[in-house]
Structures are given as structure tokens and as C-alpha cells.
Structure 1
Amino acid sequence: MAARRFLYVFAGLIVLAIAGLFAYRLFAPQLFRFAFVPSAPFVEQMPRQAAAYADPAMWLARPGLGNSDAAQWLPAGVSPRTADRAATFFIHPTSYLTRAQWNAPLDDRESQDRARLFVRSQASAFNHLGPVWAPKYRQAAFGAFLTDRPEAQRALDAAYADVAAAFDRFLQEAPADRPIILAAHSQGSLHLLRLLRDQVAGKPVAARIAAAYVVGWPVSLTTDVPRLGLPACTRADQPGCVLSWQSFAEPADPAMIRDVYEASTGFDGRPRKGTPMLCTNPLTGLPGGGAAPSANLGALIPNKDLSDATLEAGTIPARCDAGGFLLIGPPPASMDSPYVLPGNNFHVFDYTLFWSNIRADAARRTAAHAAAQPRGIEKLLRRLGGRR
């Protein structure tokens, strides 16, 4: 029943998003903004302290939630974890689509249902490593990304403040000797970038990061990565690094994303225009390059009536193009549906297309992180010694 609800909500969300994006292409941008940019005055959000996130009700996923933990969903045939090797902090993407407010209220059931959906389909890729922590936060409305009005930045700042408070609480409660996975998607990745810059770079916690998955948001190798405190991943078994990709089928038209990227400013204050985007191939864990369908260990594919999702291996390739976008070839026949955004943008599927590979990648980097620690090296040597 939970899987059925999960996928029906998913369908509803994408239909709404597609309607908006088609309106953008068919009508004037002003009409699109009118449909989504909040009309209400900005309401200052009272800052939350980390103590607020001591309340389990402030989380979509965390230890102790039992069956209501959204991140514990698994497709058929996948075994649950048997040991805790890492703690994951996951920031969900935009799920508040109305124009009633600049920041989503946490008692808005519709947006919370969508957020829970995303945690299930995306954050579940990390649940084999240990508990996943996914906070509720007063996310910026979808329309905040469609305007340069000052209210938009204030809404994003308020949303980030919640994320930062939740992260502080996560650090207080997650075991101090356990590696950390940071992961996010879309608006969540925008906040994760800021979290890396402000709360991780140059701080002791940086040494605990096994990997940071900044998915579905453009990241400049030149103006952003040097300020994140972690390098871009260059090896499949490299711990303590950043991965990012944005998925398109071919023929791809990423002009909408590229135009916004090139008009923006990087974390070092310089324009991003002309700088290369970070593109990690999730099938290989390497920067750039391509991989055949046989390298795909399993994509989450919904069935015909959207009542469940199953894993399908060996059907979807991936390659990074010269512009820094991840291309998956022609639209997969198994995903022939209206849920793909204009331009063959598979943004909503950035995690699900490569679910099993992300799972394997996170396990590999977590193991490498543990082995690089003094105690981990000692344990590895003892194991090797026992095999002689």
C-alpha cells in the first residue's frame, strides 16, 4: 500500500511540473512566473535551533521512526542492511509547488507527501549503509527559482537555515566514529553546496565525509568545487569527494539549465560562464567518460499502473558530454511515459536511473574511507594476515 501511494503521488507531482514547463515553452515566461511565483508578501521565518530537530516529527527519516521512516523503502529482491557502516544526511528536493507562500509550511500535507516520496525513491539508495537522516525543512517554493525578486533569496536563506540546524542535530546524534554520506537532489543539492562551503570546509567534520552526492544541480569545477572543502571525485574508490550529474536522454536540450548556469556567480565570486561543470558518471563513479548499458546494475522502473517499482539491470547507458551533462541515449522504452520534462530532461530520475550503481558506489567509498583511517588499516592488515 505504501509503495502504491508513493508512486501515485510521484505521478501527480511530475504531471504538475510538466504542465508548468510546457507552459513556459508555449507561452510567455511572464505567464509561467504568474502561475508559480508567490503573490503573497514574504513572511520572515523564525530561526530554528538544532534542538528543534530533537523532535522525531521534524524528520522524514531517522533512527527510531520505524515503519514511518521514508528512507527504508526497498524494491523487491533487495535485502535490508545487516550492519551499520555509515550515517547518511539527505536533503530532499522541492515539493512545494503552490504560490501561496514563499516558504513551505511543515504542516502542508501535499508537499510533505511529495517530499516523503522523494526520500523513498532517492535516499533509499543509501539505506544499506546504516540509518538515513532526512529532515523536514521550510523549503523555498518552486516559484522562488523563477524570479530575481529579493524575496526569492530570502526564502532560500530561510530554507537553508533549517537544513543547517538539522545538520547540527544530526552531528550530535550520529555516532562520532561513523563515516558520513551527504546526499541531496535539486533544491536540496543547492543547500548541500552551501552546507559544504559553510559547515564542512575547513572543519573537523570534513574528515568524516565518505562522499557527497550533489545531484541534479550544476556545480562548477572552477568557481565552486575549490570552496567546498572536498575535491571532485576522480577515482571510483576515492573517499571524501564530491559527485554530481544532471540526466538527459538524447537528443538533449539542456539550454534552460545552461542559460541559468552561465548567468550565475560561483562561490568564489567569479562568473560561472565558460567554466566546466562537474559531471560524474554514476555507472562508473568516474568523472566524464561513458559506460554501456551492461554497466547499469539496476534502475528503478515503475510498473504499468504505477503501483510498484522494480529493478531493471543492463538497459540504460550513461556518458558525460562536453557541456557537463549526463546523457543516457534515446529515452528508455521501459520509461516511455509523460513524466520526462521538456528537452528530454530526466531530472526527476537522476537517482532512480542509477539506483543500484549509486548504492554500490556509496558502499565502495565508505569502505575506502574506513580503510584509510588508522584503525581501519589495522583491521585490514589483520584480515590480510589471517589469509596467509
Structure 2
Amino acid sequence: MKYTRFASLILILLYGCSNGYHKFESQYALPSSVPDYGNLEYWAAHPYKKDPSDSIPRPLRKMYLADSSIDIFFIHPTTYTDNARPFGWNAPIENAALAAKTDYSTILYQASIFNASGRIFAPRYRQANLGAYFPVTAADTVAALQAFEIAYADVKAAFSYYLSHYNNGRPIIIATHSQGTTHGKRLVKEFFDGTALQKKLVAAYLVGIPVEKNWFTQLKACETANETGCILSWRTFKEGYKPDYVLHEKVPAIVTNPLTWSRTDTIAPRKINMGSVVTGFNSLVKKVAEANNAGGVIWTPKPRFFGNIFFTTKNYHIGDYNLYYLSVRENVKERIKAYKNGSPD
């Protein structure tokens, strides 16, 4: 599958050695195939344990100042990517290899963006296999939909447990990517859109999957860099490229520029991109990518970093956060400050 080959390549570029997580497998002991969110082992990130989301890129450590008054609920993307689906349509939550892969890829490289802004909660869940996005037969379609339902049921159970046992009235940021956004859209609609909890939503970063402009009833897309209680979303591609599935989308998607934080058609040059994490977690590379809101997606010319000669794909999906790592990190702080100050925008 072309998507899987792309994912393997980009993981090497963005996440370092693609199989380096194997050395961490022995640290996992998840006893059951059904998640128990009262057990910290079923959380990939949790403030009551040390985990990769606590990591800080070396150039940012001197300016690190944690804030424990805000909670971030992070829903990770697909890490069960095997074409053969060795475990069926849903990943076994107790599998140590998948747990390690999740923690030392997306939790380290994406969830860590938010660790200066609050407490991070990221549940493990019985994620759908990557192939669920690409069903071939009618039977595959039925199985894929069921796989997503199983995955969402876990995410919903984790969030409900979090609300009951850990939130204690704190403001909340929802942050998601890819399959995480497939579930995050539903979660935000069910728990925040037009409910009493909406007042506790600082912002929802729903990235990598289209979020239709009419998906929510009360919640709106963010218009400025410090607006709160709103939705942010983007998908990143090489300048000039739109895959067929984007061209055939019937409802326009929310598009937020991850450098200017505007929703209008803007071009943000790479010179204002002050930090991407693309070649190793402890290397913060400046001016890697620009951001051009181009009618449904974000475009950038080919990212500039050492090794990009091997970077031939036009789909920058897995880099949606990492190409704009420092920009997102700082924007989260800005929105939290506005929320605490009671600013409507």
C-alpha cells in the first residue's frame, strides 16, 4: 500500500530509527485485552507516571516552565499499520510491541508538544488497523466501521474515566492526530458541543483528518491566535498537490494556518517557522516549512532539513505537528493565557 510505504519513510525521517522502540518492549505489562483506565498501564501518557510525553527537546529545556492547571487529552494516531492485519481489524491493547511503538513515536514526538502547557492524558485504545481507511470489499467496509466503533468506545471510556477521576474542574485541551482525530471529532461533539462542558474547552487541535465546517452545532473554527473554545484543524501537503480524496470532499473542511493561526487564505513564509522536530527529537530545526492555506489543506514547498533528498512524498500527513512543532507549542500557551484572562478572542 502506498500510504504504508510513505508512513515507513517518513517515520524514519521524523522519528529516527523506525524500529528503535523494540528495546523498550520489556517495560510493558498490560494484563488484559480489555482496557482498565484505573490502571496506569493503559495510559500511554499520564501525569502520575513518567512517560515519553514528558520529554523536552534539548534546545527548549532552559525555557521550560510547566503548568499543571490545564489538562490535555491527547488521542494518538494509528500505530497498528501492518498490511496483513496479524491481530485482526483492531490492535490488541496488551501487545508490548505496539505499546512501545506508540509511546516512542507519537507520544514522544507529538504529545510532548503540549507538556509545557498542562497535564497530558493519552489513553491506549484498541485502535483500528490502518487498512480500515482503505476497505476493498463490502465486507471490509463493514469490518472497518466496526473496528472504528470498538476504538471509539475505548476512547470514550477513557475520557469518561478521566472526567470522573482526574479532571476536578480543570480547563481542557483536546489534541489529536489522524485516527485520533477520527475519534476526537466524535468525542468533542458528544462531550463539548452545546453542553455544559463547552465552557471548559480551551481549544481542540483536531489535526490530520478533515473536520467538516458543519460538523459541530455550537463550536466554531478558531479565527485568531488567541481565540478560545474553538476548533483548529489542518492537513499538510507539498505545494500544488491535492490527492483525489481531497478533491472529492463534498463539505469544506476547517483549515487553520499553523504558523499564523488564521483561517483565511494566507501564506506564512518559512522564515517565521522557528522550530520543527524532523531529524531527531533533540534537534530543533528552523525554517523547515512554510504554510499556505490553499482551499482545504495546508501547502508548503518541500521541507528543508538534512536528509530531505530522500523525502520524495507529496503527502506530509505524519508531519502535520512536527513541521510546526514550536509554533504549536507556543500557540497552546497563548490560548491558555487568553482563557485564563477570560478573553473571548
Q: Could you state the TM-score of these two structures normalised by the residue count of structure 1?
A: 0.74
Q: What does residue range 1-388 of structure 1 map to in structure 2 within 5 Å? A: 7-9=16-18, 52-66=36-50, 69-79=51-61, 80-98=64-82, 99-100=85-86, 101-116=88-103, 117-147=105-135, 148=138, 149-221=141-213, 223-224=214-215, 226-227=216-217, 229-259=218-248, 262=249, 273=250, 275-288=251-264, 289-302=266-279, 308-322=281-295, 324-334=296-306, 336=308, 338=310, 341=313, 344-372=314-342
Cα offset, 1:213, TM superposition: 0.5
- Partners of 2:343 and 2:164 in 1: CA distance: 21
Cα 1:250–1:335 shift into 2, 3 Å: farther
> Contact 2:287–2:304 at 8 Å: present in 1 too?
no
Cα offset, 1:176, TM superposition: 2.8
Structure 1's consecutive aligned runs of 4 or more residues displaced over 6 angstroms after TM superposition are 10-13
Cα RMSD over matched residues? 2.4
SS at match of 2:331: helix
- Partners of 2:221 and 2:263 in 1: CA distance: 8
Cα 1:47–1:82 shift into 2, 3 Å: closer
Cα offset, 1:371, TM superposition: 1.0
Cα offset, 1:128, TM superposition: 0.1
SS at match of 1:358: helix
Cα offset, 1:239, TM superposition: 0.5
Letter matched to residue 342 of structure 2: A
Q: Which piece of structure 1 moves more, 197-206 or 351-360?
A: 197-206
Cα offset, 1:77, TM superposition: 1.9
SS at match of 1:302: coil
> Contact 1:233–1:243 at 8 Å: present in 2 too?
yes
- Post-superposition Cα deviations, 1:90-149, rounded to whole Å, max 9, x if no partner, equal 000001123121110012233222211101101111100121111000001111111152
Indicate the residue corresponding to 1:385 in structure 2.
Answer: none
> How many residue pairs align between the two structures?
310
SS at match of 2:17: helix
> Contact 1:297–1:313 at 8 Å: present in 2 too?
yes
Cα offset, 1:11, TM superposition: 8.5
> Contact 2:34–2:93 at 8 Å: present in 1 too?
no
Q: Could you state the TM-score of these two structures normalised by the residue count of structure 2?
A: 0.83
Cα offset, 1:235, TM superposition: 1.3
- Post-superposition Cα deviations, 1:234-267, rounded to whole Å, max 9, x if no partner, equal 11110111000001122424224444xx2xxxxx
Cα 1:165–1:373 shift into 2, 3 Å: farther
Gaps of 5+ in 2: 1-14, 23-32
Cα offset, 1:335, TM superposition: 5.2
> Contact 1:85–1:130 at 8 Å: present in 2 too?
yes
* Identical columns (%): 32
Letter matched to residue 270 of structure 2: P
- Of structures 1 and 2, the larger Rg is shown by 1
Letter matched to residue 277 of structure 1: A
SS at match of 2:37: helix
- Partners of 1:346 and 1:63 in 2: CA distance: 30
SS at match of 2:284: strand
Cα 1:11–1:218 shift into 2, 3 Å: farther
Letter matched to residue 295 of structure 1: I
- Partners of 2:53 and 2:188 in 1: CA distance: 22
